[in-house]
């Protein structure tokens, strides 16, 4: 009853409250009293040190240089559009990885025969560092969107696959037995027992996947294409625009942080049953 | 509560092959030729030191494990119907389940094998479902139409005293309440028999006595057959009509005690205490002998 009251209100109000809650939970730490005490001196030092030539200003841009570069990129280079491109590729690659790795992981964890047929293949391919795939991928897909999305997918695929598989395999047999006694079919077990039992681990694995996919996003964009943050980064390097490079790096950091926090929030919402354990 | 056999186990044996610590495969006999028939409406307890195959035997009764040898019948129906071996058998099997193969049948269709419920030690209620969902899920498995599930679930939850916490998650319940939830889940499908594997082992003594009395009340009002595994001799004597004593390596029935003390019983009944002492002695003898072997 209480739960219903809490989540009962519909629509816009709910959305604003949930997103407010999300922002507060995730990024509130940035503005906590404790961190402000660290943040402000840091920003001041950042501004001051290059100005007094303790570090050469050409190599270490000040805060205001970076801010100006940011504004310049927004106005002249369409920074936000590039961010959007990067995000779209990132999400596409991640989504494909999630949609393939989770089912394969579930089937491998569920059935011994499937596991024995499929697992060695993945065990052999997984240790290849994803960046090592770049040359082959470029030859096969050419330079462009498919190659970039494939590389991002590759980064996220294996961590999700292996963690999902492991979690499914380790499902407590008593949960399975107590459903089987009542006549559950294997399909029901997969949908109602295995999956939910492993959900926490699956979300964890997507977090790992996000981290590696982000690495692959930058690599993919640096190697080819004319869009995205990675592309801006390489361009800035070619023209020796250090402030622009710093802007790109910060943007990437924020994308990573944001996606991890989004997953944590999803975990909190989905795994309601674990709260208070 | 009229007579007749509810559960019949005929010469059940179960062998496991295990790998010992030297990496050599060896055989392990969990149950050896156990024959047991249980009358309708009785409470039977299986007692014995741990590792003597009680849980394995119970899971075989439930159809969760196939016995290496022997057959189990519940209310006259064979548990774990053997897969068809001849072409003719296969045809009848297909007609019966209207599916292409027995395998596909098990994969996609919820189908109770027979009419029992089982309660596990540590409850095994699903932590990702609310109290209510835990019960409606099992009712769904038993094919109850959607409209009736919630009504029936609430009826049984109220019966075990969980009516006020239907929307809570099991993690928000105490150990005793989780056990009650497991009871409600088992009772809600209105089974002919309930198998319980050390149902009270994980709750404190006071709660345990409370739950035992509740169990007796539920049993008296429904007339279900109950088969229970326990470590606790006092619990066994207080609850059961008959106590089956298992002895280890290989697990087999060693003794049977009928308990004719009329119900309702008192915990401090001298007759019960007498039986308890005799059984304890017997068990202790078993354990002592076991120690001599291993030294
Ligand atoms: N799946 C299994 N594989 C191998 N050995 C098992 C398995 N299940 C049970 N056993 C063994 O069978 C014996 C009986 O186990 P169990 O039925 O759990 O005993 P109890 O419930 O009486 O304590 C134990 O020695 C245990 O190690
Ligand atoms: Mg046991």
Dihedral over Cα of B207, B208, B214, B217: its sign: negative
DSSP three-state, residue B39: strand
DSSP three-state, residue B98: coil
Q: What is the dihedral of CA A222, A228, A229, A232, to 10 degrees?
A: 70
Query: Is B196 a domain residue?
Result: no
CA A107 to CA A113: how far, in whole Å?
Answer: 10
Q: Are residues A20 and A116 in the same domain?
A: no
The pLDDT score that the predictor gives to residue A230 is 93
Q: What number of residues does chain B have?
A: 295
Least confident window among A59-68, A91-100, A135-144, B286-295 = B286-295
**Res B158 pLDDT > 90:** yes
Query: Is A36 a domain residue?
Result: no
**Res B259 pLDDT > 70:** yes
Query: Is A47 a domain residue?
Result: no
Q: What's the pLDDT band for A265 if we cut at 50, 70, 90?
A: confident
Query: Is B194 a domain residue?
Result: no
Residue B25 φ/ψ, nearest 5 degrees: -75, 135
The pLDDT score that the predictor gives to residue B84 is 61
How many whole angstroms from A183 Cα to the centroid of ligand 1? 24
Q: List the single residue in B with minimal CA-CA distance to A185.
A: B110
Interface of B with A in 98-127 (CB under 8 A): 106-113, 116-118, 120, 122, 124-127
Residues of B in contact with A174 (CB under 8 A): 120, 122, 124
Q: List the single residue in B with minimal CA-CA distance to A110.
A: B107
The pLDDT score that the predictor gives to residue A4 is 44
DSSP three-state, residue B16: strand
Sequence-distant (≥ 6) Cβ neighbours of residue B192 within 8 angstroms:
B6, B40, B74, B75, B115, B116, B224, B225
Q: Do B171 and A272 touch (CB under 8 A)?
A: no
Q: Angle of helix A242-270 relative to helix A11-27, nearest 10 degrees?
A: 120
**B106 min Cα distance to partner chain A (Å):** 5
Which of B56, B197, B232 to probe ligand 1 with, by most ligand atoms within 8 A of CB?
B56
Query: Is A232 a domain residue?
Result: yes
Better pLDDT: A3 or A107: A107
**Res A3 pLDDT > 80:** no
CA B34 to CA B14: how far, in whole Å?
Answer: 10
Q: Are residues A106 and A230 in the same domain?
A: yes
Q: List all residues whose CB is within 6 A of at least one atom of ligand 1.
A: B 16, 18, 28, 30, 48, 50-56
The pLDDT score that the predictor gives to residue B130 is 92
Rg (CA), chain A: 23
The pLDDT score that the predictor gives to residue A12 is 80
For A88-106, give one letter per residue: b (16+ CB within 10 A) or e. Answer: ebbeebbebbbeebbebbb
DSSP letters, B127-174, are TTS-HHHHHHHHHHHTT--HHHHHHHHHHHHHHTT-GGGTTS-GGGS-
Q: Are residues A15 and A73 in the same domain?
A: no
Is residue B254 within 8 A of residue B215, CB to CB? The reply is no
Spell out the alpha helix ranges (H) of chain B: 54-62, 87-97, 102-108, 131-141, 146-159, 175-188, 205-222, 233-239, 270-294
CA A21 to CA A23: how far, in whole Å?
Answer: 6
Least confident window among A176-180, A270-274, B102-106, B216-220 = B102-106
How many whole angstroms from B17 Cα to the centroid of ligand 1? 11
CA B161 to CA A33: how far, in whole Å?
Answer: 48
* ipTM (interface pTM): 0.84
Least confident window among A47-61, B117-131, B160-174 = A47-61
Neighbours of A119 (CB within 10 A): 15
Which of B15, B16, B201, B249 to probe ligand 1 with, by most ligand atoms within 8 A of CB?
B16
- Residue B138 contacts A, CB cutoff 8 Å: yes
**Res B115 pLDDT > 90:** no
- B5-19 β-sheet, strand order: B25-39, B5-19, B69-74, B77-78
Neighbours of B231 (CB within 10 A): 15
Q: Are residues A149 and A100 in the same domain?
A: yes
Q: Do B59 and A273 touch (CB under 8 A)?
A: no
Q: Identify the CATH number of the domain in which residue A257 sits.
A: 1.10.3720.10
Residue B124: which of A174, A274, A276 has the nearest Cβ?
Answer: A174
Q: β-strand B69-74 against B5-19: which pairing, if any?
A: antiparallel
Better pLDDT: B114 or A60: A60
Residue B285 is part of which domain span? 1-101+231-295
**Res B11 pLDDT > 60:** yes
For A44-62, give one letter per residue: b (16+ CB within 10 A) or e. Answer: eebeeebeeeeeeeeeebb
Distances from the Cα of A188 to the Cα of A66, A99, A179, B36, B246, angstroms: 55, 20, 9, 33, 36
Q: Whose CA is nearest to atom 26 of ligand 1?
A: B51
**Res A233 pLDDT > 60:** yes
How many whole angstroms from B53 Cα to the centroid of ligand 1? 6
Q: Do A181 and B126 touch (CB under 8 A)?
A: no
Nearest to B156 by CA among B130, B185, B176, B129: B185
Q: Are residues A23 and A133 in the same domain?
A: no
Task: Give the number of whichever ligand sits closest to the CA of residue B57.
Answer: 1
Query: Is B155 a domain residue?
Result: no
CA A262 to CA B100: how far, in whole Å?
Answer: 45
Sequence-distant (≥ 6) Cβ neighbours of residue A189 within 8 angstroms:
A110, A176, A179, A180
Q: Tell me what percent of the residues of chain B surpass a pLDDT of 90.
A: 37
The pLDDT score that the predictor gives to residue B26 is 83
Query: Is B89 a domain residue?
Result: yes
CA B46 to CA B7: how far, in whole Å?
Answer: 14
Query: Is B178 a domain residue?
Result: no
Sequence-distant (≥ 6) Cβ neighbours of residue A42 within 8 angstroms:
none
Query: Is A43 a domain residue?
Result: no
The pLDDT score that the predictor gives to residue B295 is 36
B179-226: per-residue pLDDT in tens? 999 999 999 999 999 999 999 888 888 888 988 998 999 899 888 999
Q: What's the pLDDT band for B81 if we cut at 50, 70, 90?
A: low
The pLDDT score that the predictor gives to residue A29 is 83
Better pLDDT: B276 or B85: B276
Q: Are residues A146 and A217 in the same domain?
A: yes
Query: Is B184 a domain residue?
Result: no
Residue B109 φ/ψ, nearest 5 degrees: -115, 125
Query: Is B56 a domain residue?
Result: yes
CA A143 to CA A198: how far, in whole Å?
Answer: 38
Whose tokens are 């205001």? That residue is A64
DSSP three-state, residue A114: helix
Q: Are residues A97 and A223 in the same domain?
A: yes
Residue B43's DSSP bridge partners are: B226
DSSP three-state, residue B23: coil
Q: What number of residues does chain A have?
A: 277
Q: What's the pLDDT band for A183 if we cut at 50, 70, 90?
A: confident
What's the domain count of chain B? Answer: 1
Q: Identify the CATH number of the domain in which residue B15 sits.
A: 3.40.50.300
What's the domain count of chain A? Answer: 2
Residues of A in contact with B118 (CB under 8 A): 177-178, 181
Nearest to B72 by CA among B86, B59, B85, B53: B59
Q: Are residues A83 and A9 in the same domain?
A: no
Residue A7 is part of which domain span? 2-31
The pLDDT score that the predictor gives to residue B150 is 93
Q: Whose CA is nearest to atom 6 of ligand 1?
A: B16
Task: Give the number of whichever ligand sits closest to the CA of residue B249.
Answer: 1
Better pLDDT: A152 or B67: A152
Query: Is A234 a domain residue?
Result: yes
**B114 min Cα distance to partner chain A (Å):** 8
Query: Would you give the end-to-end CA distance of chain A in angstroms?
Result: 20
Q: Are residues A131 and A229 in the same domain?
A: yes
Is residue B124 within 8 A of residue A174, CB to CB? The reply is yes
How many whole angstroms from B251 Cα to the centroid of ligand 2? 12
Which of B53, B227, B249, B252 to probe ligand 1 with, by most ligand atoms within 8 A of CB?
B53
Mean per-residue pLDDT, A61-86? 92
Spell out the alpha helix ranges (H) of chain A: 2-8, 11-27, 33-51, 63-72, 79-110, 112-125, 134-141, 145-169, 173-180, 186-189, 195-223, 229-238, 242-270
């Amino acid at each position: 009853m209480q739960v219903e009251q809490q989540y009962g209100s519909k629509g816009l109000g709910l959305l604003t409250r949930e997103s407010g809650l999300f922002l507060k939970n995730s990024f509130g730490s940035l503005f906590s009293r404790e961190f402000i005490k660290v943040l402000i001196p840091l920003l001041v030092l950042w501004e001051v040190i290059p100005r007094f030539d303790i570090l050469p200003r050409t190599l270490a841009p000040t805060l205001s240089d970076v801010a100006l570069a940011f504004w310049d990129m927004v106005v002249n280079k369409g920074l936000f559009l590039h961010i959007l491109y990067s995000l779209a590729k990132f999400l596409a690659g991640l989504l494909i990885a999630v949609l393939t790795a989770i089912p394969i992981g579930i089937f491998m964890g569920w059935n011994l025969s499937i596991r024995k047929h499929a697992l060695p293949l993945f065990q052999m391919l997984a240790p290849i560092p994803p960046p090592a795939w770049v040359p082959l991928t470029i030859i096969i897909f050419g330079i462009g969107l498919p190659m970039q999305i494939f590389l991002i997918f590759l980064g996220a695929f294996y961590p999700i696959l292996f963690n999902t598989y492991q979690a499914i395999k380790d499902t407590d047999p008593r949960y399975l037995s107590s459903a089987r006694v009542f006549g559950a079919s294997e399909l029901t077990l997969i949908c109602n027992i295995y999956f939910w039992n492993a959900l926490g681990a699956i979300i964890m694995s997507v977090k790992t996947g996000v981290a590696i996919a982000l690495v692959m996003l930058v690599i993919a964009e640096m190697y080819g294409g004319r869009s995205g943050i990675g592309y801006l980064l390489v361009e800035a390097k070619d023209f020796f625009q250090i402030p622009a490079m710093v802007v790109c790096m910060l943007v990437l950091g924020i994308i990573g942080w944001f996606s991890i926090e989004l997953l944590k929030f999803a975990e909190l919402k989905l795994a309601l049953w674990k709260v208070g354990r | 509560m009229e007579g007749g056999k509810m559960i019949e186990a005929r010469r059940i044996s179960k062998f496991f092959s295990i790998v010992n610590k030297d990496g050599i495969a060896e055989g392990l006999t969990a149950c050896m030729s156990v024959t047991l028939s249980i009358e309708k409406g009785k409470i039977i307890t299986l007692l014995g030191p741990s590792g003597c195959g009680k849980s394995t035997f119970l899971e075989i009764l439930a159809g969760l494990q196939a016995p290496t040898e022997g057959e189990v019948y519940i209310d006259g129906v064979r548990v774990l119907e053997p897969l068809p071996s001849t072409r003719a058998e296969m045809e009848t099997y297909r007609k019966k389940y209207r599916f292409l193969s027995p395998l596909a049948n098990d994969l996609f269709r919820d189908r109770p094998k027979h009419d029992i419920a089982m309660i596990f030690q540590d409850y095994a209620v699903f932590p990702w479902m609310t109290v209510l969902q835990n019960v409606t899920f099992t009712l769904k498995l038993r094919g109850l139409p959607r409209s009736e599930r919630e009504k029936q679930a609430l009826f049984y939850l109220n019966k075990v005293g969980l009516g006020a916490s239907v929307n809570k998650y099991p993690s928000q319940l105490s150990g005793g309440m989780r056990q009650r939830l497991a009871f409600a889940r088992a009772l809600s499908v209105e089974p002919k028999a309930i198998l319980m594997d050390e149902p009270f082992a994980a709750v404190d003594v006071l709660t345990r006595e409370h739950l035992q009395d509740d169990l007796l009340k539920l049993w008296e009002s429904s007339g279900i057959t109950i088969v229970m595994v326990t470590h606790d001799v006092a619990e066994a004597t207080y609850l059961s009509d008959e106590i089956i004593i298992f002895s280890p390596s290989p697990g087999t029935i060693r003794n049977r005690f009928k308990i004719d003390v009329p119900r309702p019983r008192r915990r401090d009944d001298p007759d019960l205490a007498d039986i308890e002492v005799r059984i304890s002695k017997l068990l202790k003898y078993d354990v002592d002998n076991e120690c001599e072997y291993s030294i």
